[in-house]
Amino acid sequence: SARATPEAPEQPLCWTHEHGAGRVFYDALGHTKSSLLNPAHRRLLTQATRWLLRMESV
């Protein structure tokens, strides 16, 4: 989680949810090209996609 300002409430940056047989992943980090090119963010997205598809973790 993160805060927009020190006094602002914490907001989630990523979350997951399972609903019935489906899965949901939310990511609030990818607003810029540089964010999507960041290796750590790319790994997060890769792992999230694998989780969504019920594939084994790497």
Buried b (16+ CB within 10 A) or exposed e, 10-38: eeeeeeeeeeeeeeeeeeeeeeeeeeeee
Residue 39's identity, in one-letter code, is P
Q: Which stretches of 1-58 are assigned E, i.e. beta strand?
A: 14-19, 22-27
Taking the model in full, what pTM does it have? 0.78
Q: Nearest to residue 43, comparing CAs of 17, 22, 14?
A: 14
What digits encode the pLDDT tens for the residues 1-57?
Answer: 888 899 998 888 999 999 999 999 999 997 899 999 999 999 999 999 999 999 976
Cα(36)–Cα(29) distance, integer angstroms: 8
